[in-house]
Structure 1
Amino acid sequence: MKKVNHQNYDVVLKEAFSLFHHKSLDFLGLSLPPIVSFMETEIAEVDTTDDMMDLNFRLEDGSILHLEEETNLSRKDLIRFAHYDLRLYNRYQAVIHTVVLTPSTGSPGTKVFNTGNLQYNVIQLVLGKRDGDRLISEIQSALERGETVNELELIFLPLMKSTFPPDALLRKTIELEKQIPKEEIRNKVRELTLILANRIVDKEILDELWEELQMLKIIKYAEEKGMIKGIEKGREEGKEEGKEEERMAVAKNLLSLGMDEDFVIQATGLDKKCIRTLKKSLNNSI
């Protein structure tokens, strides 16, 4: 089970929007010029805190998109974001568009605070208000037609409004993600989805889905290293005399990659006692 800290929403936001920044504006529903580059998120300044902005992008017209994640958007957060934006403006003298993404609380729309001589506003987008059921249907149809989909929509789909309970919505999301054509992107999207889901589904379900993803990664690695050939031989030849050494080598490789005992037994034809002896020797050698 992958360890996920309390900042998992923030972690997913940064990595997801970094990987798929070219699709960010469509996901956010913003009519802004295209993103052309990333920008710094830490601006040194005397007598300020060390807080960092989440994500900044330079847009095609020279303006800046400042993207933040906040579980519960408060007036204090708005003041903090305003401080960030003033520092950005002081550095670049450019128009700034600030968007705050929240999982489920609050009402979407423009949030404003006014000090009398200064007015500051951000756009709040609440994922929990989006129609997840409609999105599932649209994405499934697009995948069936062989069209590209917005990976950001899949990653954040488990947080959206749905008639399905959280665990069922997560499983439906994972099934859709399995249909992404490129394996590297498919696995990364699933990984980010599961990190995000840490707070919304039972640990048992999350463990099961993580195990499946990890198994796929390990099998892929085994294929790349030529281990699958050994696995196939083990299955075909079983306990044929004279092949013990070869099957033991394959078993050691699989155990070192974290494969569970039952899988290694099935793959090599070795018995449980032998596998456990190998596993013990590997642990002692670490």
Structure 2
Amino acid sequence: MKSLNGSDYAHNYDIVVKWMAEALRGETLDVIGIKTGRIEEVFGFEPVEIAVKSGRVDVIIRDETGAVFHIEEQRNLRKADMYRFASYHFQGAKQWPDLKDIILASGDVYAGEKSIKTASGKYEPVIIDFTQKNGQKRLAEIREAVSKGTFDNWLELVFLPLYGKETGKQRSMMVEEIIRFENQLFQADKIPVRLIAATLIISNKIIDKERLKTLWEEIKMLDIFEIAKEEGKEEGKKEGKLLGTVETAREMIMNALLERFNMESFRVAEKIKSLQNPDIIKALLSQAIRCRNMDEFETVLDKVS
């Protein structure tokens, strides 16, 4: 039976940190009820003594006042998780004595004591229990505010998938609805693509593994393509800038086909290399991600080349 939590799909940890950094830098944590200055630095927390698991949020942030926060995200928070996080805290406190811990909790949240006393000291994190918020209601409120032009706290969208007590398919459908909404906002130039990526990271343990993987790959490809376009804009006065963007996108198609289908067709490779129209290339990139097999992709390729 197919999983509906995605917890066994591990993202690259460097990408997790990179995209969460892009989403958080310059913002505050006011949106989750934590008073901070503007966030200036976001980096991974990888103590030598403790292996950091990929596929989840585990970052250190430093704000403009110099305050340091350790942010953990945990679906179905348990007492055992508290002890594990406590060990992280005491390791981190060696470097940052005033380290403040924040746990983003969702799902079935442990209701017992939220502090741990050991010989090393006391671990007493701030736990943000997102089950107390109504995700569907808040999404509707945000949609309305956006339509009226009165909403600009885009960072809240990243945490929105954690809101509420829905489980299983109901939760998964809500997350997809949020991501589709974000995609509309991106297409309207209201949010950057990395905000969508950060939302996918937060949704790691919530949405079906295969669906998450598909969305993840689409965002990674879109992100690279948009970066290539932006680099091209910055070099708008230079000859050949469009060619560079096109070449990057063609390589992305080849890489996607190689990863998904182990594609080694000389004929297909030559056709892709001959493509010049950026719109066609972008459409084919999408097909390279979505097609079920190489025959399906080649049918599309033959129509446009």
Q: TM-score of the superposition, structure 1-length normalised?
A: 0.60
3-state SS, counterpart of residue 83 of structure 1: helix
Match of 1:158 among 152, 158, 161: 161
Aligned match of 1:284: none
CA drift at 1:10:
7.6
**Cα shift readout 1:149-190 (whole Å, capped 9, x = no counterpart):** 334322332332278933542343134311247649443333
Alignment partner of 1:193 is 2:196: no
What is the Cα deviation at residue 136 of structure 1? 1.0
What does 1:21-100 correspond to in 2, within 5 Å?
21=24, 22-38=26-42, 41-43=45-47, 49-52=49-52, 54-93=58-97, 95-100=98-103
Give the direction of change, closer, same or farther, for the CA distance of 1:213–1:72 in structure 2 (3 Å limit): closer
Whether contact under 8 Å (2:27, 2:38) holds in the other structure is: no
Q: Tell me, which stretches of 5 or more residues in structure 1 are unaligned?
A: 229-247, 262-270, 279-286
In 2: Cα distance, 1:215 partner to 1:63 partner: 35
Structure 2 residue 179 is matched with structure 1 residue 174? yes
Q: Is the 8 A contact 2:45 2:59 kept in 1?
A: yes
| Aligned counterparts of 1:183 and 1:5: Cα–Cα separation in 2 | 33
- Percent of aligned positions with the same letter in both sequences? 24
SS in 1 for 2:82: helix
Alpha-carbon distance in 2 for matches of 1:92, 1:273? 55
Alignment of 1:1-286 (within 5 A): 6-7=9-10, 14-21=17-24, 22-38=26-42, 41-43=45-47, 49-52=49-52, 54-93=58-97, 95-107=98-110, 111-115=114-118, 118-161=121-164, 165-177=170-182, 178-180=184-186, 183=189, 185-194=191-200, 196-197=202-203, 199-201=205-207, 225=242, 249-250=274-275, 254=281, 257-258=284-285, 260=287, 275=302
Report the CA distance between 1:60 and its aligned residue.
3.9
Question: Retained in 1: the 8 A contact 2:17–2:44?
Answer: no
**CA pair 209-50 structure 1, distance change in 2 beyond 3 A:** closer
Match of 1:236 in 2: none
The CA deviation string for residues 47-80 of structure 1, in whole angstroms up to 9 with x for no partner, is xx24359211223443321111233434443334
Inter-partner Cα distance in structure 2 for 1:122 and 1:273: 53
**Between 210-219 and 35-44, the greater mean CA deviation after superposition:** 210-219
SS at match of 2:87: helix
The secondary structure found in structure 1 opposite 2:126 is: strand
Task: Check whether the contact 1:102–1:126 (CA below 8 A) recurs between aligned residues.
Answer: yes
- Show CA shifts across 1:2-43 (max 9, x none): x99534598886455312223351232112444333466245
The structure whose RCO (Cα within 8 Å, separation 6+) is larger is 2
| Deviation larger for 165-174 or 207-216 | 207-216
1:90 aligned counterpart, secondary structure:
coil
TM-score w.r.t. structure 2 length? 0.57
Alignment CA distance shift 1:73-1:133 (3 Å): closer
Contact 2:161 2:203 in 1 (8 A): yes
State the alpha-carbon separation in 1 of the partners of residues 18 and 111 from structure 2: 23
| SS of residue paired to 2:185 | coil
Q: 1:151 to 1:8 in 2, by over 3 A?
A: farther
Distance 1:105 1:170 in 2: 17
The number of equivalent residue pairs is 245
Computing the radius of gyration over CA atoms, which structure comes out larger, 1 or 2? 1
* Closer, same or farther: CA 79–196 of 1 in aligned 2, 3 Å: closer
1:257–1:148 CA distance, 2 compared to 1 (3 A): same
Amino acid at match of 1:189: L
Contact 2:107–2:165, Cα closer than 8 Å, also in 1: no
| Bigger mean CA offset, 133-142 vs 81-90 | 81-90
